[in-house]
Every structure is written in structure tokens, then in C-alpha cells.
Amino acid sequence: MCAEMSKAVKKYFAPGRVNLIGEHIDYNGGLVLPAALNIGISATYIPQSDNKIVLRSATHSLVKEINLSDTFSFNPQNDWTNYPIGIIEHLKRENHYIPSCEVIFESNLPEGSGLSSSAAIEVLTAFMLLSQTESNINRTWLAEFCQQVENEFIDVKCGIMDQYAVANGKKDNALLLDCAYLKHDFVPIELGDCRLLLMNTNKPRSLIRSRYNERKAECEEALRIIRNVKPQLKNLCEAEMHWIETITDEVIRKRARHVISENIRVKESVKVLRHNDLHTFGRLLNASHQSLKEDYEVSGTELDILVETAQEIKGCLGARMTGAGFGGCAIALVHHSVIEKLKNNVSETYFNSTGITCSFHTVEIGDGVRLLSE
């Protein structure tokens, strides 16, 4: 199988992702609307023949050499290399052939900002290593495989959205992903005179793992309670809103209300986006943020300041936090003529209240993981 492997140096790329709407929905079996970005992580692949892999990064000083005969587990000292090592370990467990190589990663994705740098490096590593011997990698399998590595090796119990978007993204399109059936449709994103602006809190995200897992457990509890009266219910996103009246705990009821209403907002967003009704889409973004702030409680002072300051500006059609929350990024849908004004107002208000400088980036939607050049 590996006898014919090319000895050429190759370059691969995996994008980050932004979620347009459908937050904290993937692990509840509903619909999400992410898009792959045109920024991400690249990897230069240099073939070797010594049963080793050397992992280097242009952005981090840690270099790691691993022997392919060894067995690996998560080690905090391995820092960023835990992601590629996790992929290698799990590929080995599934008896995939792993070629000896040296890899140099380079990223232009702000880390820890909720743009899925971890999903990008996972999908990139798996795609690159498998591409040496396989020509038709199934991208749904690839996403599920990488999610499993994140859940088991890294021990973050994330849903499928990030890995799926990184693996399957398409230029100028969002992915309407049905997380219960792992099927997607592309939704063309035509913004006309508007732009999608990423607003980065530049606030290191803290306690994200435990609070993410806590929300997941709360949703499981909501599902368990509703199933007492609706035993056939497969997942929370299928529930009707009035069923949450059976939940007596107010916190659990609020979590369920977010999930059910957000799933409906995704359906409405797709409908209005297909008719180029950006004003209604903007209002759905605002409603999503409100629900994430009040009912799901995953926003926070920094994200709220960015979002609410942006929302006040005439010409901003809508804004909301994106990704897991607790820091990270927000998005705003803005008419191009007010972008500079929005940036000035938002950064000034944000700095005055937090002492932190936020940053901005215009979203451009790119393709999923791919070979760049040979």
C-alpha cells in the first residue's frame, strides 16, 4: 500500500470556522449553520523513512519527535502537539497506515478565540496523513473521527459542528448541517452591500471545558424530564416549546428554551437567507444572542459589550456571540459604509469598560480541508 508513496514535499490547509447561527445545538441533535473561513492552519509535509514523526510549528517553539511504535496519551507538557498526537494515536488504533514524516504547521487563526483552531489542526493532520495512501477520504467519517479524538484523547466533549465544517466547507457557502443525521445542504451566502465582521474579545477563555460540559449535562437532564411525558423524543431539538412546561427547575427550563428556540431560528435564517432578506436574518442574530445571554448564560460581559454596542449602530443589521461563548468572538452583519464607524465605536466602548483592545476581521468564506500544492 505504501510502496508507491510519493517522496514529494506537499502543503495542506484546513480552515477555521465561524458559526452563523445555531449555537449549542449540535449536541442536541438539531440544525446548525457554520461556514469555513479563508484563514486557518497550513501544514508542510516532508516525507521521511525512519518510523518517526517530527511536529514543528512556525508559531510555537515546542518541537516534538515521536516514535510511531510508541503508544500515546494526552500530556499537558505536549501543549499544541497533543492534537496531532491524538490523531496519530487514534489512526493507529484503527489500523491506518501512518507514514514517517516531518510536519511544519503554520497558523493565521487566533487561538482560543472560538474559531476552532483545534478542529482545524485535527482535521488537517488526519487528512494529510491519510492522503498519503488514500485518495477518497470520506469527509463525514473524517469529521466524526476527529470529534472522537477531541472527546476521548483531548477530553473535551464537543459536538460535531466544528470538525464537520472544517472538513466540508465550501467557498461562499454556509453549511446547513443536520446534526442528528449528519447530512448537509449548502446555503449560498450573498451579502450584497453587507459584510460579516468578526469581533474578537481577545479575552482568554476560562473554565470553558467545565461550563461547556455543565450545559451539555443540563440539556441531557431537560431531555430526560421531557421524555417522562414524551418517551419517543429522540433529542431536545425535536421537542415542542410548550413541552418544557413539565420542567420545574427554572435553570433547566431556560436551557431547553434556548435550544428549542435556537433550532427554530436556524430554520428561519435559512429561509430568509435563500430570499436575500438580510434584515430579518440580522434580527434572528440579535434574538440568538439574547437567548444565549439570558437563557443559556454562555455570553459574558466582554461579548455583551461587543454585541450590544454593535447592535446600536445604524447600518448594523444584527450581531451575536459565536462558538461556545465565555469569551472568544462575536459576529456582526454590517452595511459596508458603516464598518469603520462600527469598529471605532465598538473598540472605544470596549476598551473603556474592559481595558482590553478588541480586534476585527472581515469574514470570507472559504473551502474545507485540502491539498494546497505539491
Assess 162 for contact with ligand GLA (CB under 6 A). Answer: yes
Distances in Å between the alpha carbon of 20 and those of 65, 111, 155, 234? 38, 19, 26, 25
Q: Which residue has the cell 500530556?
A: 75
Assess 159 for contact with ligand GLA (CB under 6 A). Answer: yes
Site string for ligand GLA, 294-323 (x = CB under 6 A): -----------------------------x
Separation CA 122–CA 297 (nearest Å) = 29
Distances in Å between the alpha carbon of 111 and those of 80, 119, 121, 328, 361? 10, 11, 11, 9, 14
Separation CA 19–CA 285 (nearest Å) = 11
**Which span sits near ligand GLA by CB under 6 A: 53-61, 127-135, 159-167, 265-273?**
159-167
Assess 158 for contact with ligand GLA (CB under 6 A). Answer: yes
Judged by beta carbon, residue 21 or residue 194, the one nearer ligand GLA is 21
**Is residue 185 helix, strand or coil?**
strand
Q: Cβ contacts of residue 177 below 8 Å, gap of 6+?
A: 26, 31, 32, 33, 34, 160, 161, 164, 165, 183, 184
Judged by beta carbon, residue 45 or residue 212, the one nearer ligand GLA is 212
Judged by beta carbon, residue 24 or residue 265, the one nearer ligand GLA is 24
Judged by beta carbon, residue 99 or residue 114, the one nearer ligand GLA is 114
Judged by beta carbon, residue 161 or residue 346, the one nearer ligand GLA is 161
Site string for ligand GLA, 22-61 (x = CB under 6 A): -xx-xx----------------------------------
Q: CA 207: distance to chain centroid?
A: 18
Q: Cβ contacts of residue 352 below 8 Å, gap of 6+?
A: none
**Which span sits near ligand GLA by CB under 6 A: 82-90, 153-161, 260-268, 275-283?**
153-161
Residue 162 among the catalytic residues:
yes
Q: Are strands 31-32 and 173-178 parallel, antiparallel or unpaired?
A: antiparallel
| Type and span of the H or E element at 177 | strand 173-178
CB of 17 to ligand GLA, least distance (A): 8
| Residue selected from 161, 174, 176, 239 as contacting ligand GLA according to rule CB under 6 A | 161
Catalytic residue among 162, 178, 193, 249: 162
Q: Which residues are catalytic?
A: 162
Site residues (vs ligand GLA, CB under 6 A): 19, 23-24, 26-27, 158-159, 161-162, 323-324
